[in-house]
C-alpha cells in the first residue's frame, strides 16, 4: 500500500451559501464517505482546514511572511489515505461527495514519499 494526501481546494467556504438543512445533508454525506474509507482501511486521517493562517517564504536566510497566493483558491481540507496506486487514489478522490456541490472544487492527489529515518 502507498500513502497519498488528498488536498481539497476551493474558492473559499464552499458550504457558506447552503441553508442549514443543506449543510446538514452535506455533513451526513461526507460522514458516510469517511466511514466507508475507515471501514475499508483506506483512511489514515482527514480534517477540514481553517481559512486563516500564514505562508512563510524563505530565500537565502531571508524570510517573508504573508499571503502569497496569486489566486483565491485555498486548501480547505485534507484526506490522508492508503491506496494500491495513483489510479485507486483517483477513484477514492472522485467518490468524495464534495463534488456534488455547485462550487468550483478540485482535489489535488499527492503521493507521499517514504524516506528512511523519518518517522
Query: Domain segments of the chain: what residues?
Result: 2-51+73-111
* 105-111 vs 56-59, strand pairing mode: unpaired
Query: pLDDT per residue over 8-50, tens digit each?
Result: 998 877 777 788 998 899 889 999 999 999 999 999 999 988 8
pTM greater than 0.75: yes
Confirm or reject CATH 3.30.420.40 for domain 2-51+73-111, answering yes or no: no
Closest CA to 6 of 109, 106, 114: 109
Contact call for residues 74 and 51 (beta carbons, < 8 A): yes
Q: Average of pLDDT values for 60-75? A: 68
pLDDT at 103 over 60: yes
**Among 6-10, 23-27, 54-58, 113-117, which is the least confidently predicted range?**
54-58
Amino acid at each position: 500500500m502507498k500513502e497519498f494526501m488528498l488536498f481539497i481546494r476551493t474558492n473559499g467556504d464552499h458550504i457558506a451559501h447552503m441553508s442549514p438543512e443543506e449543510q446538514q445533508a452535506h455533513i451526513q454525506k461526507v460522514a458516510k464517505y469517511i466511514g466507508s474509507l475507515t471501514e475499508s482501511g483506506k483512511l489514515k486521517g482527514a480534517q477540514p482546514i481553517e481559512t486563516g493562517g500564514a505562508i512563510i517564504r524563505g530565500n537565502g536566510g531571508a524570510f517573508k511572511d504573508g499571503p502569497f497566493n496569486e489566486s483565491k483558491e485555498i486548501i480547505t481540507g485534507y484526506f490522508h489515505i492508503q491506496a494500491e496506486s495513483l489510479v485507486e487514489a483517483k477513484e477514492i478522490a472522485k467518490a468524495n461527495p464534495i463534488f456534488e456541490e455547485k462550487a468550483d472544487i478540485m482535489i489535488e492527489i499527492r503521493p507521499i514519499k517514504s524516506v528512511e529515518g523519518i518517522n
